């Protein structure tokens, strides 16, 4: 079986970059494949045949070397795939045949193989965002068509109409469907440019436009509520909130632009940066809330302003994407803390808070929207909070809890419950709600004593020193 090695050839001129090549060996016959990758001797480890990225390497050079490592791994994977395919064939093969198949445009095979090769080419030249969008579209198409490659002649209008129908069937919105179609069309047009196929306009009968969506904006009071949340018990949520607020303070700066902000971009009270997407230069006055967020985190080990890209030896884009996923996930989980209707809804859904939920026929939890309109009855018992507070021995009194907007009313199960026990129950309820970021406007109790049937107490009033 043929083997492949990665070799480095140093330049004959001192202080100039050398070149990498692949060595294909089969039946003692050696052939070389030139890669076009160039690097200095100090950036190559001959012992393990691998590119080395030193810790003090300048950012642009580091990204270039990291992308080179990825490209080499992809090339080796493809070479091994070619060799395995030739091994499975009945006829013998030579090292020349391996080089020929690897280098030939025909090795692009069909549409799917060409798409994968194009994605790798884009990664090599630094167009990683385009490669990512092509990958997303290709993965969607693979879910529809499977892994079997397609001849370019099979990529026709009928196939794309079937694909669009498939997307509608799994409830993909028109804009997402159009996104996939436009990217697949771009891949197909690249193949036409390289004369791998002729233009048959397979996308002429599918939607490739962009629907206008409803403008959505978060009210300022919600932004203030997010800002004022006490998240000291959850550092990850606090981190997500800080990055969200920084984006808000900087006129909705994109997360990718935030990730690549550098300390040198902030001078004389003005933040100057270029958008990653368009290259447009923007100027933002530096305000106190921005500095408070930046000052919370230690970024002394990096040239970046925010704690998104933290490791200088790891791919910066990978770190940015991981942070973006983390922040988006935590913001979704934190959503109940910033919407009153969600606050009450999450509270009444007992499993969310780890409570036991009773059967529906015992429902005594009335949940209303913040505007006062009722939209359902739930039951919510808090056995972990009010266990054994009744005077009766061995009893498990469950209190009725009513939520109206962000107010909670607790009605003790027994009218003989002491004020001290009621107060404890109310305070513990409030503590638990705050711990779960379900911030309440008020927690109060209604006494079931016949003499005080309409009497209500706030937490501070429920206190009896004599008990």
Contacts of 27 (CB under 8 A, 6+ apart): 94, 95
Distance CA 261, CA 157 (A): 45
Q: Is the pLDDT of residue 263 over 90?
A: yes
Q: How far is CA 447 from CA 183, 442, 458, in A?
A: 65, 16, 11
Q: How far is CA 253 from CA 212, 244, 275, 294, 296, in A?
A: 22, 10, 9, 15, 19
Distance CA 24, CA 6 (A): 9
Q: Is 165 left (phi over 0), alpha (psi -120 to 50) or beta?
A: alpha
Q: Is the pLDDT of residue 348 over 80?
A: no
Summarised one tens digit per residue, pLDDT across range 15-67 is 888 999 999 998 888 998 888 888 898 888 888 888 888 888 888 888 888 88
Pairing of strands 266-267, 270-274: antiparallel
For CA atoms 87, 91, 96, 100, give the dihedral sign: negative
Look at 455 and 287; give whichever has higher pLDDT. 287
Q: Is the pLDDT of residue 265 over 50?
A: yes
Summarised one tens digit per residue, pLDDT across range 84-114 is 777 876 678 888 888 887 776 545 567 888 9
Neighbours of 125 (CB within 10 A): 11
pLDDT band at 389 (very low <50, low <70, confident <90, very high): very low
pLDDT, residue 137, reads: 95
pLDDT, residue 346, reads: 33
pLDDT band at 380 (very low <50, low <70, confident <90, very high): very low
Q: What are phi and psi of 397, to 5 degrees?
A: -70, 130
Summarised one tens digit per residue, pLDDT across range 300-313 is 889 999 999 998 88
pLDDT, residue 157, reads: 93
Q: Is the pLDDT of residue 117 over 80?
A: yes
pLDDT band at 412 (very low <50, low <70, confident <90, very high): low
Per DSSP, the three-state class of 265 is: helix
Look at 339 and 77; give whichever has higher pLDDT. 77
Q: Is the pLDDT of residue 6 over 80?
A: yes
pLDDT band at 186 (very low <50, low <70, confident <90, very high): very high
Q: How far is CA 32 from CA 71, 226, 417, in A?
A: 17, 60, 88
pLDDT band at 247 (very low <50, low <70, confident <90, very high): very high
Counting residues of the chain whose pLDDT is more than 70, the rounded percentage is 69
Neighbours of 93 (CB within 10 A): 18
> 384-399: string of b/e by CB count within 10 Å (b at 16+)?
ebbeebbeeeeeebbb
Please name the residue ranges forming H helices in 215-296.
220-228, 235-249, 255-259, 288-295
- Average pLDDT of 206-233? 85
User: What is the residue-averaged pLDDT of the chain?
Assistant: 75
Q: What is the DSSP letter of 387?
A: T
Secondary structure string (H, E, C) spanning 66-86: HHHHHHHHHHHHHHHHHHHHH
- DSSP letter for each residue of 159-193: HHHHHHHHHHHTT--HHHHHHHHHHHHHHHHHHHH
Q: Is the pLDDT of residue 460 over 70?
A: no
Q: Are 211 and 175 in contact (CB under 8 A)?
A: yes
pTM over 0.85: no
Q: Which of 444, 399, 451 minimizes the C-alpha distance to 423?
A: 444
């Amino acid at each position: 079986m043929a083997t492949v090695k990665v070799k480095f050839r140093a330049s004959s001129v001192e202080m100039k970059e050398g070149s990498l090549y692949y060595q294909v060996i089969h039946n003692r016959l050696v052939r070389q494949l030139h890669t076009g990758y160039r690097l200095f001797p100090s950036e190559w480890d001959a012992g393990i045949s691998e590119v080395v990225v030193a810790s003090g390497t300048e950012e642009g050079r580091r990204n270039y070397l990291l992308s080179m490592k990825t490209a080499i791994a992809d090339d080796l994977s493809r070479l091994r795939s070619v060799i395995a395919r030739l091994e499975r064939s009945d006829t013998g093969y030579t090292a020349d045949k391996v080089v020929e198949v690897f280098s030939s445009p025909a090795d692009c095979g069909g549409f799917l193989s060409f798409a994968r090769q194009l994605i790798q080419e884009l990664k090599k030249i630094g167009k990683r965002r385009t490669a990512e969008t092509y990958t997303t579209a290709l993965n969607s198409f693979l879910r529809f068509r499977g892994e079997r490659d397609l001849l370019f002649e099979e990529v026709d209008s009928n196939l794309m109409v079937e694909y669009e129908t498939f997307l509608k069937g799994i409830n993909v919105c028109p804009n997402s469907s159009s996104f996939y179609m436009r990217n697949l069309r771009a891949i197909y047009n690249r193949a036409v440019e390289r004369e791998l196929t002729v233009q048959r306009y397979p996308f002429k009968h599918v939607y490739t436009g962009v629907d206008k969506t409803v403008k959505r904006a978060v009210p300022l009071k919600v932004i203030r509520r997010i800002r004022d949340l006490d998240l000291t018990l959850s550092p990850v949520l606090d981190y997500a909130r800080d990055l969200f607020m920084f984006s808000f303070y900087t006129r909705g700066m994109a997360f990718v632009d935030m990730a690549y902000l550098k300390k040198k971009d902030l001078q004389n009270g003005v933040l100057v940066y270029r958008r990653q997407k368009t290259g447009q230069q923007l100027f933002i006055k530096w305000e106190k809330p921005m500095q408070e967020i930046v000052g919370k985190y230690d970024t002394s080990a990096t040239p970046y302003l925010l704690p998104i890209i933290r490791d200088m030896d790891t791919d910066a884009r990978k770190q940015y994407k991981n942070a973006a996923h983390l922040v988006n996930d935590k913001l979704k989980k934190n959503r109940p803390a910033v919407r009153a209707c969600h606050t009450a809804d999450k509270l009444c859904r007992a499993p969310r808070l780890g409570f036991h939920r009773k059967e529906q026929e015992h429902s005594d939890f009335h949940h209303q929207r913040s505007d006062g309109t009722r939209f359902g009855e739930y039951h919510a018992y808090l056995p972990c909070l009010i266990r054994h507070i009744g005077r009766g021995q061995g009893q498990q009194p469950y209190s009725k809890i009513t939520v109206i907007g962000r107010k909670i009313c607790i009605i003790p199960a027994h009218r003989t419950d002491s004020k001290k026990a009621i107060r404890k129950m109310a305070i513990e309820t409030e503590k638990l709600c705050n711990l779960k970021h379900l911030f309440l406007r008020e927690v109060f109790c209604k006494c079931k004593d016949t003499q005080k049937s309409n009497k209500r107490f706030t937490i501070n009033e429920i206190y009896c020193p004599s008990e």
